[in-house]
Structure 1
C-alpha cells in the first residue's frame, strides 16, 4: 500500500475509533504519553503522517483496537486475542436438555437448518419415561425441566421454523432395541415405547425432520451440532466448544454432510428400519 493511502486509512480509522470510544485528543495524548499536538498532526489530512511502531501500539492499546486495523492490514478492529475469543469459546454444559445455553442456540438458528450428531438418541425425540430413567441420578426437579424443554423443542421443530437433520450411529438404535451398552437396565417397555415414538416422529415430520443412520465402523463423529451457517458446537462433556468463525463452521458442516453421504440407512427408510429391528 502506498504511504499516502496508508496514512489516509490510519487517519480515518483513528478518527472512527476515537469517535466510537468518545476519546478526545487530549485524553488520547495522555494515554499514549505524547503531546496533544502529535495526535493533532496524525489527524491532519494535508500531509501523510504515520506514527512510529511504539506510538501506533500505544494508540491501539488506548482505543482497544488492533494496530493492524489502524494501519489497514486487516478489516477486523478487535485485538487478535479478542478475535480468537469471539471465534471459539467454551461454555459450561449441563446434562439436562433444559440447558439454557442450548435452548438459546436453537432460538438463534430459527430459519436455518440444524445439523445434529447426538451423544445418545437425540434428546429432542426422547419419551418422558426414557428421560425418567436417564435423569434418575439427578435431582427430581430436573426431570420436569428436561421434559418441558424437550416438548418445547419438539413444538419448535413441528412449527417448521427450521429443518432438522440428525446423523446417528446405527449401533445406538441396535443397543436401544436390545437393551445393551448405554441402555442396559432399561425395561423392554420403555425401550420399545422410545423406538416407536422415534419412528412415528420420523414418519410424521418428514422432510422437516430427517434422520440418517451411519455405520460407526466406517465413519465416526463426536457429538456436534451445526446451528445454521454461523455457529457450530462440539459437546465435550462438561462444556460446549463453540465456533463462530466462518471457515470452522463450514468445516463442521462438511463433516456432517460427509456422515449423511456415508449413511447406510437413508432418512426415508429409518422408520421401517427401526420397526424391523424391534420385530427381530
Structure 2
C-alpha cells in the first residue's frame, strides 16, 4: 500500500476511534505522553503522516482498538484478544432442552436453515413419555419446562420459519427399537410411541424436516448444531463451544454436508426404515 494512502487511512480511523470513544486531542496526548501538536499533525488531512511504532501502539491501546486496524491491515477494529473472544466462547449448558441460551439461538436463526447432530434422539422430536424417563434420573427435574420447550420448538418448525436438518447415527434409532445401550430399561410401549412419533413427523413435515441416518462405524460426529450462516455450536456436556467466526461456521457446515452425503438412510426413507424396525 502506498505510504500516503496508508497515512490517510490511519488519519480517518484515528478520527473515527476518537469520536467513538469520546476522546479529545488533549486527552489522547496525555494518554500517549506526547505533545498535543503531535496528535494534531496525525489528524491533518493536507499532509497525512504516520506515527512511529511506539506511538501507533500507544494510540491503539488508549482507544481500545488494534494497531493493525489503525494502519489499514484489517477491517476489524477489535484487539486480537477481543476478536478471539467474540469468535469463540463457552456457554453453560443445562441438561434440559428448555435451556434459555439454546432457545435464544433458535430464535436468532429464524429464516435460516438449522442443521443438527444430537447427542441422543433429537429433543425437538421426543415424546413426553420419553422425556419423563430421561428426566427421572436428573436431580433437579425440569420436565414441564423441557416438554413445553420441545412443544414450542415443534410449533416453530411447523410454522415454516426455518428448515431443520438432522443427521443422526443409525444406532440411536436401532438401540431405541431394541431397548439397548442408552435406551436399556425403557418400556417397549414408550419406545414404540417415540419411534412412531418421529416417523409421523418426518412424513408430515418433509421437506421442512429432514433426518439423515449415518453409520457411526464409517463416519463420526460430536453433537453439533449450525444455526444459519453465522453461528455453530458444539455440545461438550456441561457447556457449549460456540463459534461465530464465518470460516469456522462454514467448516462445520461442510462437516454436516459430509454426514448427509455419507448417510446410509436418506431423509425420504427414514419413516419406512423406522417402521420396519418396529415390525421386527
Q: Tell me which interval the TM-score lies in, with the shorter structure as reference length.
A: over 0.9
- What pairs with 1:90-109 in structure 2 (closer than 5 Å)? 90-109=90-109
8 Å CA contact 1:128, 1:147 repeated in 2: yes
Structure 2 residue aligned with 1:221: 221
Q: Secondary structure at the match of 2:14?
A: helix
Structure 2 counterpart of 1:133: 133
User: Does structure 1 residue 162 correspond to structure 2 residue 162?
Assistant: yes
Unmatched runs of 5 consecutive residues or more in structure 2 = none
**Alignment partner, residue 153 of structure 1:** 153
Matched, 1:174 2:174: yes
CA contact (8 A) 2:135 2:141 kept: no
TM-score normalised according to structure 1 size: 0.98
2-side partners of 1:45 and 1:269: how far apart?
67
1:49 alignment partner in structure 2? 49
TM-score (ref. length: structure 2): 0.98
1:69 to partner: Cα distance: 0.5
Q: Over residues 112-152 of structure 1, what are the superposed CA-to-partner deviations in whole Å (9 max), with x where a residue is unaligned?
A: 10000000000000000100111112356500000000000
CA drift of 1:36 comes to 1.1
Alignment gaps of 5+ in structure 1: none
RMSD (Å), alpha carbons: 0.9
Conservation of the 8 A alpha-carbon contact between 1:167 and 1:211: yes
Residues matched between the structures, number: 280
Aligned to 1:266: 266
Runs of 4+ aligned structure 1 residues displaced above 2 Å come to 137-141
Which deviations, in whole Å up to 9, do the C-alpha atoms of 1:18-40 show, x marking residues without a partner?
A: 01111111111111111111111
Q: Distance in 1 between matches of 2:108 and 2:242?
A: 13
* Separation in structure 2 between the aligned mates of residue 169 and residue 137 of structure 1, nearest angstrom: 24
Distance 2:217 2:71 in 1: 52
Judge conservation of contact 1:3–1:48 (CA < 8 Å) in 2: no
Q: Hey, what's the Cα distance between the residues in 1 that align with 2:10 and 2:160?
A: 48
